[in-house]
Structure 1
Amino acid sequence: MSDVSSPKIVIVGAGPGGIRAAAMLVAAGLHPMVIDEGHRAGGQIYRRPPDGFIRRPEQLYGSEAAKAQALHALFDRLVAEGRLTHHAGSSVIAVRGGRLHVLAEGGVQVIGYDRLILATGASDRVAPVPGWQSAGVYSLGAAQIALKAQGVTLGRGIVLMGSGPLLTLVGAQLLKAGADVAAVLDTSSWRQQMRGLGGLAARPLVALRGLALRTMLRRRYHAGVMLERIEADASGVIAMRWRDAGGRQRLTPCDMIGMGWHLRAETHLADLTGCAFTYDEQWQQWLPKTDEMGRAGNGVYLAGDGARLVGADGAEIAGRLAAVACLTDIGHVAPSAAADLRKLTRLERFARGLATAFPWPSNMVRTLPDDAIVCRCEDVTTAGVREGTDFGGGEANRVKSLSRAGMGRCQGRYCQLATVEIVAARAGCAAKDVGRFRGQAPVRPAPIGAFLQEGWGSG
């Protein structure tokens, strides 16, 4: 049992980063609390299917099956032994004054902490394409989750589009599952992808596995495409209109489209805890500032893709580093972090190679037609964002208040990056000069009753 006088350490997120942080703290004799939206630990990358699911781990996780199973078993053992407290199916919707407001099936409870480790991960980074508000359009992550968690594909004729390793991975996974993948459309040209080889050489085996998956796609894969419009009727998607690298117009019939351009760090909780942010030119998004161990100040530590977009392996390392930093700061004996820091440096070099090879399509977004929807939650068009810029100037939150872009249930998770690009183009400035949407509580949709309970909003 841990000492009752020990500081209360709360970890948000039970993916690779959160699990490794928890294990490190437990090994030091502490009893952390882990809060996670999933009903079973594993995170998005190692999401676990329901009991009785017939597909084997090798089919779900491919070459990462052994890692996934090891993490699942580690966390389950710590819970079974009573060495940590696990709040499953729970969402942190607000942070204030060292307290977390946690929404679960029973309502909202307020949980205090002395130290907080945020391992909130990342979500799909999507870019608007005319017609993307139509039924039958999903993120790549949503398509992957449906396959992992339920063993289903989301359409009979599928087109995937975007750029980055997830585009190839999801395409290969769907093909293995027997889905009809009509086309995989990559906005990054072959020449651009070659520019990332220097960084990708930091993990040659991973890069080779990616190439092997690419070969599975065969002629379905097209690099350097221009995405024109998603065609739809009253029932949903019917075709994707695009141009190949040679400029030839193509029309691919389909009833489902998956889209994504790598990842967007999940930073809403970090924002509410008062973390400072910096604009990363290569990833073209705002990321929280931390030291090399994940310290963000005020007893807050960040681990995983919520701070550094380095993937599942990097998240495990970052989780251990955050735990070591936490142990050091509270006066506990902590193991050396030197080896993990060296590994993380190599993984970050590989990640930067990915960012170079598969960039965010800023020019495509900046030149969207006026009638294209930017914010799907609030049905805000590109013209609306441009008009908001004309009235409010090139500042993200002014345009947000004038146009309502980013004010829907996703709180800008899907439209903020595109909105900023459009504002920057209209105002004639760089995207970093536009700023970012301020984080607001609740960071997830919550029932009205949650705000009426005693304790909501209290210090």
Structure 2
Amino acid sequence: MAQPRVIIIGAGPSGVRCAEALVAAGLRPTVVDENRRDGGQIYRRQPDNFTRPYAKLYGTEAERAQSLHESFDALRGKIDYLPETLAWNIADGRVHVTSKQRTKALPYDALVICAGATDRLMPVKGWHYAGTYSLGASQIALKAQACAIGRQIVFLGTGPLLYLVASQYIKAGANVVAVLDTSPFMRRVAALPKLLARPAVLRNGFALVANLKRAGVQVLTGITPLEIKGSPETGVQGVVIRDNRGNERSFECDAVGMGYHLRPETQLADLARCAFRFDHETRQWLPEVGEDGRTSVPGVYLAGDGMKVLGADGAEIGGRLAAMAVLKDFKLKVSEDELQKLRAEQAKMDRFRRGLVQAFPWPAQQAAQLPDDAIVCRCEAITAGELRRVVGETGAQEANRAKAFSRVGMGRCQGRYCGHAGAEVIAHAAGVPVEQVGRLRGQAPVKPLSIAVREEVE
């Protein structure tokens, strides 16, 4: 009997552990990865000519990063590895990929999508000025290019990644002016029962904040962003906020790193025709996932942060569980004891995740408070006022209809960075629940392709 053709999209923590489990069972999966090397975003490898030690590059995650990299190195001869390869469409049992100006379709019997997550962003007036980056982009600059995003940096948003990236910049010797968190401190106190599901991770979080304060960084909670000051000619020049006492405060800077947690990268799951559901806790649409990563589409599985954001170690567990689901569905042997152990560990991580959602909520009210001249969609320069006009004049209360009238979400990012905030603006203007606005439909290609790309025919 021929081996099942298994394709894994993504070589981050979930993709590596999924491939490892499949190889251990005697399979040879194909691993498609957009990046130049394995590791994903969180464990992104530095270029070959960089020599920074793991401890300096990954901090408290150094040991896990090194373990993942070494595991993947050991797999290289046992998998079909396609780096620098974009999976841009899924249709008719095939994954369409492109690399080096060539595109081809890879047939599969089982597909495990380990697409990871991207920054979840809430616009603020002036965020389109040069010098405003997402937290993920700030990390890439530091890890892959060994440079800071500015000389005086403000980090703005909420969630653990906000503090992690700021700490990484301090460790690298950058000048971090302030960390400005929209979440009130007492939300964290209320979430402690859930956060105690992972005490070691909680301690690391406290340590990050303590290290920032020890370095002289101003750390403010419960703030409201008002504006990123600057101009098209000079770029970012400062940040204006309202603090938790209602006082307006300004911080001079030439760069801002922004982020409000992460959002699962779901476009490939959408193209694979997986069903979605609205998650009221996080106010976003997520793929419906059954036991061990099975989706509503037979033969398609999700793992890691592309399914639900559980963090890097949670992604590793998700990758192993998805591999075991593939093996079981092909009537291959798996260890039931190991399966139950992984499920129990994942449940503990999910409790911690819900604690993070409670402690660092998505600030939906900020979308309602955006001034009309604030840009929501940076790709197409669509303002909050334009979205409100579309709702009022055309009656568009659904995301894709509003997109057709305004072009919001039609740009290079296809709504990855404006879709959630745009839905909140539409919902408030229309006076309807945000789930009624729906979600922007995934379109192929998920990222722009060069017009010079040619198809390979096998």
TM-score range, shorter-chain basis?
A: over 0.9
Equivalences for 1:129-144 in 2 at 5 Å? 129-144=124-139
Structure 2 counterparts to residues 108-147 of structure 1, below 5 A = 108-147=103-142
**Is structure 2 residue 54 aligned with structure 1 residue 57?**
yes
Change (3 A) 1:100 1:394: same
The answer as to whether partners of 2:271 and 2:442 remain within 8 angstroms in 1 is yes
User: Are the counterparts in 1 of residues 123 and 421 from structure 2 also a CA contact under 8 Å?
Assistant: yes
Q: 2:351 aligns with which of 349, 352, 355?
A: 349
**Aligned partners of 2:156 and 2:179 also within 8 Å:** yes
Shift of 1:216: 1.5
Structure 1 segment 13-412 matched on structure 2, within 5 A: 13-79=10-76, 82-218=77-213, 219-233=217-231, 234-296=233-295, 297-336=297-336, 337-390=339-392, 391-412=394-415
* Counterpart code for 1:348: D
Aligned to 1:453: 455
1:1-54 residue CA offsets vs partner (Å, 9 max, x unmatched): xx7x11100000000000010011001100000000111111001000011312
CA contact (8 A) 2:124 2:225 kept: yes
- Report the Cα distance in structure 2 between the residues aligned to 1:454 and 1:314, rounded to whole angstroms: 37
Measured in 2, the distance between the counterparts of 1:106 and 1:379 equals 30
Please report how far the alpha carbon of residue 105 of structure 1 lies from its aligned counterpart in structure 2 after TM superposition.
1.1
Residues 84-111 of structure 1 show CA distances to partners (whole Å, capped at 9, x for unaligned) of 1100000101111011110111411111
Give the Cα separation in 2 of the matches to 1:76 and 1:48: 12
After superposition, give the CA deviation of every residue in 1:295-315 in whole Å (9 maximum; x if it has no partner).
002210000011111010110
Structure 2 length as normaliser, TM-score? Answer: 0.96
Show CA shifts across 1:46-75 (max 9, x none): 000011312110111111111111111111
> How far, CA to CA, are the matches of 1:63 and 1:323 in structure 2?
27
Q: CA deviation at 1:249?
A: 1.1
Deviation (angstroms), 1:126: 0.6
Per the alignment, residue 433 of structure 2 pairs with 430
Is the 1:102–1:108 contact (alpha carbons within 8 Å) kept by the matching residues of 2?
A: yes
- Amino acid aligned to 2:134: S
- Alpha-carbon separation, structure 2, partners of 1:144 and 1:362: 25
In structure 2, the residue matched to 1:6 is 3
Give the CA deviation at 1:193. 2.1
Q: Deviations over 1:276-304 (max 9, x none)?
A: 00111112111100112100022100000
Moved over 4 A (4+): none
SS at match of 1:345: helix
SS at match of 2:236: strand
| Runs of 5+ consecutive residues of structure 2 not aligned to the other structure | none
Secondary structure in structure 1 of the residue aligned to 2:245: coil
| 1:162/1:186 contact within 8 Å kept | yes
State the aligned residue count. 450
User: 2: CA distance between counterparts of 1:454 and 1:50?
Assistant: 30
Q: CA deviation at 1:454?
A: 6.4
- The answer as to whether partners of 1:392 and 1:398 remain within 8 angstroms in 2 is no
CA-to-partner distance for each residue in 1:317-360, whole Å, 9 max, x for gaps?
A: 00011000000111111122100000000000001100110011
* RMSD over equivalenced CA pairs, Å: 1.3
Bigger mean CA offset, 130-139 vs 228-237:
228-237
Aligned residue for 1:448, secondary structure, equals coil
Gaps of 5+ in 1: none
What SS class does the counterpart of residue 251 from structure 1 fall into? Answer: strand
TM-score, with normalisation over the residues of structure 1?
Answer: 0.96
Cα pair 1:392 1:402 within 8 Å, conserved: no
SS at 2:356's partner residue?
helix
Amino acid at match of 1:241: V
CA contact (8 A) 1:328 1:334 kept: yes
**Cα offset, 1:197, TM superposition:** 1.1
For 1:389 and 1:298, locate their aligned partners in 2 and report how far apart those are by CA, in whole Å. Answer: 38
Q: 1:244, CA displacement in angstroms? A: 1.2
Distance 2:456 2:440 in 1: 29
Percent identity, aligned pairs only, is 49
Deviation at 1:195, TM superposition (A): 2.0
